[in-house]
Amino acid sequence: MKATDFLTVRDLSTKEILETFTIARAMKKNRAKYATALKGKTLALIFEKPSLRTRTTFDVGIQQLGGYSLYLSPAEISLGKRESVYDVAKNLERMVQGIMIRTFAHQIVVDMAEYASIPVINGLTDYSHPCQAMADYLTILEHKKTLKGLKLCYVGDGNNVAHSLMFAGARLGVNVTIACPKGYEPDAVATQQALDDAKKTGAVIDVVESPQEGVKNADVVYTDVWASMGQEAEAAERKSIFQPYQVNAELMKRAKKDAIFMHCLPAHRGDEVTADVIDSKQSVVFDEAENRLHAQKAVMYQLMKRVK
């Protein structure tokens, strides 16, 4: 991996993404083999947003590689308020060998990566969720045995998850359709970047308004919550707007018969997805959640092994 940080999926080439999957699958198959891969190295975990999967998988992951984790809560750092991003970066680079940050503004992780001489991993921002996308496509590869030429339809808000699914799909030759209401499309710059990358792999990146049109012949149907963290005040309005975008059994019938269902979690059963879909045999949401651990271990290993 040539990248020194992992801020978006676009930081990695197609080859590097696939190599990361190979390492992740090897780690999943034989955990003991990598038990000392990052022996003695410490990862600082900066959380401005709460999390179940991100906290657990990074914490457990670095320990399974022989390293340590240090959890830093908003109260302890308060980025940009108690201390500047620059000062935090310059302090931590002298004490730890890597930084994972889960925050709101994407510029914070960009700045952290610029200022810190050690690897910075984006655990989530409002713009990008690259670790989730790596776990998602690793899961698809496991279930479908291939990636290139598949169709993934994301139904819902054109948010950070949608961006990262487009970025990774474009790199991997997966056709990605985003089905969302008007006014809730993915960021225009993110969409254009995905379209540009897709030219190299032949992937088709599309944004449509109709969920029925979007999921037609899809190999993968994906959704996320209608109101993300920080959008709680819009929850009632969004529920009304996104109701036609609920992934239910009727919508799943429009996808391929062997289509799998995915969700980055947490899920609100009865809102963006019905219980009979997320709890069905087509659902791979818990495989997907587990693969956060393996994909992130592979990323940490490649970035942190070269830090002294």
Q: Encoding tokens for residue 286?
A: 């818990």
Among 219, 216, 218, 212, which residue's Cα sits nearest to residue 246? Answer: 212
Q: Determine contact, residues 48/79, Cβ cutoff 8 Å.
A: yes
The counts of H helices and E strands in the chain are 13, 9
What pLDDT shows up at residue 97?
Answer: 98
Same fold? 9-129+290-304, 132-288: yes
Q: What distances in angstroms separate CA 28 from CA 6, 62, 157, 158, one per listed residue?
A: 21, 14, 32, 31
Q: Which of 102, 171, 263, 294 is catalytic?
A: 102
Q: Which of 224, 238, 246, 302 is catalytic?
A: 224
pTM for the model stands at: 0.96
Topology (CATH level 3) of domain 9-129+290-304: Rossmann fold (3.40.50)
Note if 131 is an active site residue: no
Q: Give the C-alpha separation, 205 to 178, whole Å.
A: 8
What pLDDT shows up at residue 206?
Answer: 98
| 39 Cβ contact list (under 8 Å, min separation 6) | 65, 66, 67
Q: Determine contact, residues 168/137, Cβ cutoff 8 Å.
A: yes
Note if 306 is an active site residue: no
Q: Which of 292, 294, 296, 302 is catalytic?
A: 292
Give the H or E element holding residue 68. strand 68-72
Note if 264 is an active site residue: yes
Which residues on neighbouring strands pair with residue 277, listed in sequence order? none
Going residue by residue through the chain, which has 308 residues, state the pLDDT in tens, using 9 for 90 and above.
Answer: 899 999 999 999 999 999 999 999 999 999 999 999 999 999 999 999 989 999 999 999 999 999 999 999 988 887 777 889 999 999 999 999 999 999 999 999 999 999 999 999 999 999 999 999 999 999 999 999 999 999 999 999 999 999 999 999 999 999 999 999 999 999 999 999 999 999 999 999 999 999 999 999 999 999 999 987 677 788 889 999 999 999 999 999 999 999 999 999 999 999 999 999 999 999 999 999 999 999 999 999 999 999 98
Q: Which of 264, 294, 296, 302 is catalytic?
A: 264
Domain ranges of the chain: 9-129+290-304, 132-288
Topology (CATH level 3) of domain 132-288: Rossmann fold (3.40.50)
Say if residue 34 is exposed, middle or buried (CB neighbours under 10 Å; 0-12, 13-18, 19+): middle
Q: Which of 64, 97, 132, 302 is catalytic?
A: 132
Note if 292 is an active site residue: yes
Q: Encoding tokens for residue 205?
A: 């990146």
Give the H or E element holding residue 282. none
Three-state secondary-structure class, residue 147: coil
Q: Encoding tokens for residue 254?
A: 């429009």
Residues 80-123 pLDDT 10s? 778 899 999 999 999 999 999 999 999 999 999 999 999 999 99
Note if 132 is an active site residue: yes
Among 93, 105, 84, 88, which residue's Cα sits nearest to residue 43? Answer: 93
Q: Determine contact, residues 180/158, Cβ cutoff 8 Å.
A: yes
Q: Determine contact, residues 186/158, Cβ cutoff 8 Å.
A: yes
Q: Determine contact, residues 163/128, Cβ cutoff 8 Å.
A: yes
Note if 254 is an active site residue: no
